[in-house]
Structure 1
């Protein structure tokens, strides 16, 4: 296999993946999973290991990734870990970064440096049920991407716009997505 790499990604492998999905669209269907267990107070722990993708169950991960969710003392926690809305910013930053790098590679743009800063505003009156007019979620999220790349500024602007449209996490956050919460029958 050709090992030409752009931005750390194998170009030939990317082309082969795209060709396989074009030939069999069912390979594009993925189901990602997370499991969570409450520990105490605002602390809970999520594990992520298995998923379905490319037409099969994936068993490539020998052990699960583990993430501790916590809260700062001002929100009744003990800083056990980042809180879930901070993890959302982390997920958004990671997805926007990966999407940007992937599509820069596809366009032949070499990225020399990429740093992303995110800020999100929340009014806790919504979470606490103190004002029904206040949403319990983020009111706004701002993403600043600091990019140094070997291309004209216009190409970077086009790539940023494309990234916002095609990042799965950004797309999920930017549009209503049905979420079903149900009680499991143990």
Structure 2
């Protein structure tokens, strides 16, 4: 009987990460995932999203026993009651989390230990686009800035390469940075 020592770096199981990469190389169909969210309007700018199930690694995932619930709200200046972060703030949260996780994963696979990592994000929006007041103003973020505070066991050059890799391979960053088709359709209740 052979026992395998668990090797961790940056909080990740290195052997499990390598095994996952090898499994995806052997069968690329395992890399196809579908994530899902459900949302229900409550009142005004408040609505709630639940997330539980997803498809990945060739099957429906059943490891989550309860829904994750997120409350979307608006501040009073945007006609809400601070019920929760607003959707564009959640986008910043998702972007921060994805860039951070991508950076940590790639650092681990390169053998770079991270001692400390935090981010600050800012995004600029002109509400004239949301409200349809100016057709020349896009309704979304005009620019998003991510400032990384990172202390890692590597050279400045390796750190720059790692940051570029995180930007290039973060699914949320990539989704935000390129046009992605979004289909909105009405489902009629019977």
TM over 0.5: yes
Determine helix, strand or coil for the equivalent of 2:119: strand
**CA drift at 1:106:** 0.4
Residue 185 (structure 1) shift? 2.1
CA distance in 1, matches of 2:5, 2:33: 27
1:44 to 2:44 alignment: no
> 2:52 & 2:174 partners in 1: Cα distance?
23
- Residue 85 (structure 2) aligns with: 82
In structure 1, what is the Cα distance between the partners aligned to 2:158 and 2:175?
A: 25
Aligned to 2:28: 25
CA RMSD of aligned residues (A): 0.5
Query: Any residues of structure 2 matched to 1:7-22 within 5 Å, and which?
Result: 7-22=10-25
Report how far residue 2 of structure 1 moved.
3.2
The whole-number CA distance in structure 1 between the counterparts of 2:26 and 2:153 is 33
**1:166-181, aligned counterparts within 5 Å?**
166-181=169-184
Shift of 1:74: 0.1
TM-score by length of 2: 0.97
Is structure 2 residue 154 aligned with structure 1 residue 151? yes
1:55-79 CA-partner distances (Å, limit 9, x unpaired) = 0000100000000000000000000
Gapped regions of structure 2 (runs ≥ 5)? none
Q: Distance in 1 between matches of 2:26 and 2:158?
A: 30
TM-score, with length taken from structure 1: 0.99
Match of 2:186 in 1: 183
Deviation of 1:111 after TM superposition, in Å, equals: 0.1
Tell me how far apart the structure 2 counterparts of residues 185 and 21 of structure 1 sit (CA, whole Å).
Answer: 39
The answer on 1:161 being equivalent to 2:164 is yes
What SS does the corresponding residue of 1:151 show, helix, strand or coil?
A: coil
1:107 aligns with 2:110: yes
Deviations, residues 65-119 of structure 1 (Å, cap 9, x unaligned): 0000000000000000000000000000000000000000000000000010000
Q: Distance in 2 between matches of 1:104 and 1:152?
A: 12
Could you tell me which runs of 5 or more consecutive residues in structure 1 were left unpaired when the two chains were aligned.
none
